[in-house]
Amino acid sequence: MSAVTVCDVGPRDGLQNDAVILEPAVRAELVDRLAAAGLPRIEAVSFVNPARVPQMAGAEDVVAGIEPRADVTYAGLVLNERGYERFATTSLTEVHYAFAVSEEFNRRNAGASAEESAVAGERVAARAKADGHRVTVTLGTSFGCPFEGAVDPGRVLALAARFAELVDEVVFADTVGVGVPRQVRHLVSEGAKLGVPVGVHFHNTRSTGYANALVALEAGATVFDASIGGIGGCPFAPRATGNTATEDLVYLLHGEGVETGIDLEALIQVAAWLEERLGRPLEGQVYKAGAFAPAMAH
């Protein structure tokens, strides 16, 4: 089967909701360990207000501490133009601009209306392109909002279409882990018609993350966000638990015959290392159970 790109968001989305705050040097080491395991893309930091998300303080120090590899794309997440200005001072080459399609969530997360964030995103995309950076837009709460409930897929696809000509990639994010395969099949297959690569970002809050990933793969998604050990969640979303675990997703993809370029055994070692740093068992399953080579159909 064709190759996909797995982006590990553990250093950002994973750590941003953890009670343990890791120093920038340790976060940079996590990025380096993920890169050494073959992750082709890593969301290393977010440029947000450290008073609101103290786990993400010192983003510039994290970037400075990374030992970059030529075959790895290092990305930073921004929510507004201030965030992009900080991003632009670093060596990162890919900007992930994120906002929520639902009004109330975006106000709580970004302090702006969804439309204000969309307009700011258009400006960030233009600036980033002019600066020679790759740009991804992530549409949060694409599958549902903790405050407003169900989200109209037509609204999500309209925003995706609006950004398709401005960015390199559109990612549909299930910020609070409410999505089900039926929704994924619709959004990804329609999004794939927009002419840019489509990515997905799933949480396993209700144990649908991996089913959603498999359906997204079949529907044409080529980029998959996941978080080492399954850690993470959003500080501004009630009951939003961990992301799909990178090693669990890679086990699934490899079992389906999909190329990722990732060394699963090495990735499991990274999860074990992170477990020690955070001082608790992580949410992932494969790093506890170990890898296994399934028989391939003839």
25: how many CB neighbours lie within 10 A of its CB?
12
Cα atoms in the 13 Å half-sphere on the side-chain side of 96: 29
Cα–chain-centroid distance for residue 194?
21
Helix (H) or strand (E) holding 264: helix 264-278
Burial letters 229-265, b for 16+ CB under 10 A, else e:
bbbbbbbbbeebbbbbbbbbbbbbbbeeebebebebe
CB atoms within 10 A of CB 90: 18
**Rama region for 235: left / alpha / beta (φ>0; ψ in -120 to 50; rest):** alpha
Would you please indicate which residues are annotated as catalytic (active-site) residues?
A: 234
**Interhelix angle 209-219/181-191, nearest 10 degrees:** 30
